[in-house]
Amino acid sequence: TEERKKKFLFPSNPVAASIIGITFRKSDEGKIRDLESFAEYSGKLVPISPQSAQFAVVQDFNKAHPDKQIALVPSDTFIINDAYLWVIEGRYDAFFDLKLSFQNSVLSEKGAFHSLSDKLSYAPYKGIPTWTLFNRNEASLAAAYDRAVEKLRADGTLSSLSVKYFGEDVFSYVSE
């Protein structure tokens, strides 16, 4: 919001990225490979809260793909874990999900939905950059921090750390 922008400084350089994409039935892997093929297949997505950044991402996708629309249905609230079951049941064909959530909830042997790992699949869409925020009164600290992060990005350190801690270069999913 405008009020937040008045309180915080956003550096130019992100320090990481959250990978978002779709969780869908493994039986649909031949038909669904990415967001475009999902839109062609059905576009029947688990409802998303309009306040969620994910809602805006799907809106942007629909604007960029007028011939391949995803049905974007707003939802007040639901328990996110229900989304996995709704996809399995066929109520919806995909759930717009964070890759890390899918890995922790479904793929991890300790995940609450690991029993569904043979029934669910995931396709990444894009990376949403993440930044460290600074108080507006700390402009010099924010500028120094931003210069340091730029050096780490330029020499490959950020990508290397991403591979070390996330198992892949999350920056490869960032298109902006």
What mean pLDDT comes out for the span 133-146? 90
Strands 8-9 and 94-98: unpaired
> Which of 78-82, 89-93, 109-113 has the weakest average pLDDT?
78-82
- Per the document, the length of the chain is 176
Q: Three-class SS string for the chain?
A: CHHHHHHEECCCCCCEEEEEEEEEEHHHCCCCCCHHHHHHHCCEECCECCCCHHHHHHHHHHHHCCCCCCECCECCCCCHHHHHHHHHHCCCCEEEEEHHHHHHHHHCCCCCCHHHCCCEEEEEEEEEEECCCEEHHHHHHHHHHHHHHHHHHHCCHHHHHHHHHHCCCHHHHCCC
Q: How far apart are CA 44 and CA 154, in angstroms?
A: 40
pLDDT of residue 2 exceeding 60, the answer is no
pLDDT of residue 171 exceeding 80, the answer is yes
Residues linked to residue 128 through DSSP beta bridges, in sequence order:
18
What percent of the chain lies above the pLDDT cut of 70? 95
pLDDT of residue 10: 81
What percent of the chain lies above the pLDDT cut of 90? 64
What mean pLDDT comes out for the span 70-95? 88
pLDDT of residue 1 exceeding 60, the answer is no
Residue 95: which pLDDT band, with cuts at 50, 70 and 90?
very high
Q: Is 104 exposed, middle or buried (0-12, 13-18, 19+ CB in 10 A)?
A: middle
Amino acid identity at 160: S
pLDDT of residue 5: 54
Q: What is the pLDDT of residues 10-57, one digit of tens each?
A: 888 888 889 999 999 999 999 999 999 999 999 899 999 888 888 999
Q: What rounded mean pLDDT belongs to the chain?
A: 90
Amino acid identity at 125: Y
Q: How far apart are CA 13 and CA 61, in angstroms?
A: 24
Residue 147: which pLDDT band, with cuts at 50, 70 and 90?
very high
